[in-house]
Chains A and B, each alone.
Chain A
Amino acid sequence: MDWESIKKVTGILLEYLPNTLKLFAVTLLLSIPVGMLVTLLKKCRFKPVAWLTNLYILIMRGTPLMLQIIVVYYAVPMLKAGMQKDGSQGFFADFINNIDTRSDSYMFTALCIAFVLNYAAYFAEIFRGGVDSIPKGQYEAASMLGMTRMQTFFRIILPQVTKRVIPATSNEVITLIKDTSLANIIAYAEITMKAKQQMNTYSSIIPLFIVGVFYFVMNAVVTVAFAVIEKKFDYYK
């Protein structure tokens, strides 16, 4: 490959980079709050809720994300086909039939659902580990000072948990950047898929190296960002 081709391939990848970033951003922004919610459900005193939550985490962490993407993506078309065969009617059937499974927004939504469900399970375990690592004495001291459960959680526990989960969270975020490439399994136009196409066009492996550099640079940015955040929390041990 000559310089001109390399520039051209880089241009194409840059054009599709927003698709990768969009999936990354939506997953990150949603899976962290959902993960917190899952942590709370797991700690629920009503045991069946805690068990169901554990089952969810077990499945999400126990099966490949790629498989989960395929399942979510094909669930609606399969349901549609099944219902047409049975002649099902009603609100649910209408709802499913009205989904346009060929649209881009359907594909993106399916991806986001699979990614958020998967990442929320991992974040939930990270947050649970963080909450469990806070010594019992902190709760006892807060309770002796008359703080309510809410005050204890938001003023005493959460700030300390945040500091403790930063390193593990940074690991997850780095993995997420690389995992967005799994979206190419359902032909989502993200950069890995585009690089593969360019590889075929030019019969060269260089597009793959270029896309590798893309991921590397994104993760370098994330690494620096997390180093800055960690430093912000460095004011206490």
Chain B
Amino acid sequence: MAILEVRNIVKNFDKLKVLKDISFDVEQGQVVAIIGPSGSGKSTLLRCINQLEKADGGEITVDGTRMFYTDKEKGRVVYASKKELREIRLKIGLVFQNFNLFPHQNVMTNITGAPIHVLKMPKDEARKKADELLAKMGLTGKEKAYPCELSGGQQQRVSIARALALNPKILFFDEPTSALDPELTGEILKVIKELAKEKMTMVIVTHEMAFARDVANHVIFMDDGYIVEEGSPQELFGNTRNERTKQFLARFKD
């Protein structure tokens, strides 16, 4: 069974149809890259899966728990109970484009806040776990630093550590390198590669084709609210037959 099942998602902002009919599965341990031009609905899709936006139709199931479905008779979306939604939320981590670290808390508090106050983990255990995560992110020694004292790449790695501290089953990335210098995208790519090796299930919305090609084992190409094509990176980047995909990828050739 897929860990994430997305079926026929529809999302409108007033009259603007952003997501028209999106369906896909993510398997345990898979790294999925979602690519596509600006305005194609990639970020909105991610936000619907992460409960930051309410979908207008369709069905999403996370790790066997149904988050919402569409009541066909009444023609509206029915969400799971608050308790279930909360459980689902804790199985999902999200890394934001602009990090959204808490500026008034140091790196350690940013990472341990949720484990201590949400999961009620003992403080020592939360700190130990945070130390391990920081080591993994190459940020040992930065525990006491405040976000404003770190580079963009470091901040983004802290935000990845913060998301991982809750032991999510799926980690989502919403354009994790868009706010970074091109020189700094490498360090994020490295971290994501490490996580991929550990079989972390990840869904990455990105403009960075190198990401999609090097890390993902499944690529989804979206345009105008639809999934135009999906497949392995070799299929999409190597020899797509789809005209729209070709056209989009041509811009990244050099």
A91 within 8 A of B: no
Question: Which chain A residues (201-237) contact chain B, with CB distance < 8 Å?
Answer: 235-237
CA distance A213 to B134 in the complex (A): 56
Contact among A135, A144, A160, A237 with B89 in the assembled complex (CB-CB below 8 Å): A144
Residue-wise, chain B 76-97 has the 8 Å CB interface mask toward A (1 for contact) of 0000000000100110111010
A72 within 8 A of B: no
Does A159 lie within 8 Å of B96, measured CB to CB?
no
CA distance A151 to B116 in the complex (A): 12
A-B contact pairs, 20 of them (CB 8 A): A135-B100, A137-B96, A140-B52, A142-B102, A144-B50, A144-B89, A144-B163, A145-B118, A145-B163, A146-B86, A146-B118, A146-B166, A147-B114, A151-B117, A155-B117, A160-B102, A160-B103, A235-B146, A236-B146, A237-B103
Does A147 lie within 8 Å of B118, measured CB to CB?
yes
Chain A residues lying within 8 Å of B148, measured Cβ to Cβ, are 236-237
Chain A residues lying within 8 Å of B94, measured Cβ to Cβ, are 144
Interface residues on B, range: 20 to 34
Q: Which residues of B contact A (CB under 8 A)?
A: 50-52, 86, 89-90, 92-94, 96, 98, 100-104, 113-114, 117-119, 146-148, 162-163, 166
Does B104 lie within 8 Å of A160, measured CB to CB?
yes
Does B103 lie within 8 Å of A236, measured CB to CB?
yes
Chain A residues lying within 8 Å of B51, measured Cβ to Cβ, are 143
Interface of A is mostly: helix
Contact among B90, B102, B103, B104 with A146 in the assembled complex (CB-CB below 8 Å): B90
Chain B residues lying within 8 Å of A143, measured Cβ to Cβ, are 51-52, 89
Chain A residues lying within 8 Å of B166, measured Cβ to Cβ, are 145-146
Chain B residues lying within 8 Å of A144, measured Cβ to Cβ, are 50, 52, 89, 92-94, 163
Does A145 lie within 8 Å of B114, measured CB to CB?
yes
CA distance A163 to B102 in the complex (A): 13
B174 to chain A, nearest CB (A): 10
What is the size, in residues, of chain A's interface with B at 8 Å between Cβ atoms?
A: 20
Does A138 lie within 8 Å of B102, measured CB to CB?
yes
Most buried by B among A135, A140, A141, A160: A141
CA distance A146 to B114 in the complex (A): 7
Chain B residues lying within 8 Å of A147, measured Cβ to Cβ, are 114, 117-118
A162 to chain B, nearest CB (A): 9
CA distance A133 to B113 in the complex (A): 23
CA distance A143 to B103 in the complex (A): 16
CA distance A135 to B100 in the complex (A): 9
Contact among A141, A235, A236, A237 with B100 in the assembled complex (CB-CB below 8 Å): A141
Closest to B101 in A: A141
Does A145 lie within 8 Å of B113, measured CB to CB?
yes
CA distance A28 to B74 in the complex (A): 54
Residue-wise, chain A 123-154 has the 8 Å CB interface mask toward B (1 for contact) of 00000000000010110111111110001000
CA distance A66 to B162 in the complex (A): 53
Chain A residues lying within 8 Å of B104, measured Cβ to Cβ, are 159-160, 163, 236
Chain B residues lying within 8 Å of A146, measured Cβ to Cβ, are 86, 89-90, 114, 118-119, 166
Chain A residues lying within 8 Å of B119, measured Cβ to Cβ, are 146
CA distance A236 to B147 in the complex (A): 8
Does A140 lie within 8 Å of B103, measured CB to CB?
no
A70 within 8 A of B: no
Closest to B87 in A: A146
A197 to chain B, nearest CB (A): 50
Does B113 lie within 8 Å of A155, measured CB to CB?
yes
